[in-house]
Amino acid sequence: MSALQSVAPAVSAQAQREILFRVVNRVAIITLNRPAALNALSHAMVRELAVLVERCRHDSGIVALVLKGAGTKGFCAGGDVREVHQLAKNGDHRWLAFFVDEYRLDYALHTLAKPVVALLDGIAMGGGMGLGQAARLRIVTERSKIAMPETRIGFLPDVGATRFLNVLPVEHALYVGLTGVTLSGADALRLRLADLCVPAEWLASFEERLQRMSHDGDLMTALRGVFEPPCNVVPHAALEPLTQSIVRHFDRRSSVERIIATLRHDLEREPPREVKQWLQSTDDALTGHSPTMLCVTREALLRGRQMTLAECFRMELGIVKRVIEEGDFCEGVRAQLIDKDRNARWAPATLAQVRPERVRHFLASPWKSETHPLAGLGGEPSSDNR
């Protein structure tokens, strides 16, 4: 047997593993290794990640954790919603365990005492943001595409988004959460959804610098030194000139119907080209997404500003159960990801038909506090039914 033949099976096994783990200079590196699917999270990956995070928590030889995605296209495109959709359509309730396990994993990362670094290069959306926003050092590049696009498929921004989007001013949180807009790395940095924006090529060699990292002194300073270039020029943030427009239209007191009405009012006034493009694309997004989930998302984001992280996860799980069992999720996934006809038949079809009691129903927990699947999260009693 040649040397090449003896190595090939090991390389093949490495390529097939969906999670890779190694330790470099006392820093654990976890790689999401599903590049053909943009590193989307399967349930098996979530479970394996949870085990590795606990290993990092308890191993005194590990001082920090780096999360990265394989390939150059994405950190993580989200949870595998096709898998969830298939289970839900078949009446298989194992989809609920996926969300319970995913939220527990995200919470474990948020509460890990050791620093977490997330390399949000390429696509980082949905479940990828759940992982990435739990990090203490969130790094984006010129290739980053950051979004919580769930309302497009009749879902809501979850994985802790009702908490982590609220580091933004309320108007920006509503804008990002309702429209599902894709942010550049520079915009993510400006909106405090990232801590560093660096050239992607600089990240390619981070392990070499990590090998040389000193453990004397402050660990976070040392880690930042590994990932921050000596001369770092932050690119232009495209949304910056649109700040006034976002604040005007996404006022927390405005219903979704009111937001759309003000967008159209300003469109009729023939604004400058850049503003007109933004108004039109924002109007198109809001009028194409699930009316019910736009209303539910708006209320959930506002409530989340007054909740702890654990309470937000519990609220989100309740909404997820409602929307998958009796909402627009299955139809949204069909239209966007399976048939791809982009013609979802939302129920109800218009914002005017969404009744306030329907929104309250989605926000009311399906469980009593003591029987909630995430009842013990955070070591605090659930207060979702207050």
Domain range annotation of the chain: 15-147+192-237, 239-375+382-386
Task: Give tens-digit pLDDT for 123-176.
Answer: 999 999 999 999 999 999 999 999 999 999 999 999 999 999 999 999 999 999
Token digits of residue 90: 């078949």
- Tens digits of residue pLDDT in 69-115: 999 999 999 998 999 999 999 999 899 999 999 999 999 999 999 99
* Alpha-carbon span 150 to 135, nearest angstrom: 21
Across residues 241-255, what is the average pLDDT?
Answer: 96
CA–CA separation, 3 and 21 (whole Å):
25
Two structure tokens written together for 161: 């988004």
Distances (CA, A) of 122 to 74, 76, 182: 4, 8, 11
Structure-token pair, residue 372: 């909630």
Per-residue pLDDT of 36-79, as tens digits, reads 999 999 999 999 999 999 999 999 999 999 999 999 999 999 99
Please tell me the distance from the alpha carbon of residue 335 to that of residue 287, in angstroms, as a whole number.
Answer: 15
What is the residue-averaged pLDDT of the chain? Answer: 93
3-state DSSP helix/strand/coil percent for the chain, to nearest 5? 55, 10, 35
- Inform me whether the pLDDT recorded for 187 exceeds 80: yes
Burial class (CB in 10 A: 0-12, 13-18, 19+), 71: middle
Phi, psi of 175 (to 5 degrees): -60, -50
Looking at 3.90.226.10, 3.10.620.30, 1.10.3720.10, 3.40.50.300, the CATH number of the domain 239-375+382-386 comes to 3.90.226.10
Q: What percent of the chain has pLDDT over 70?
A: 94
| CATH class as words, domain 15-147+192-237 | alpha beta
Rounded mean pLDDT, 242-265: 97
Q: Do domains 15-147+192-237 and 239-375+382-386 have the same CATH topology?
A: yes
Nearest to 256 by CA among 160, 146, 360, 177: 177
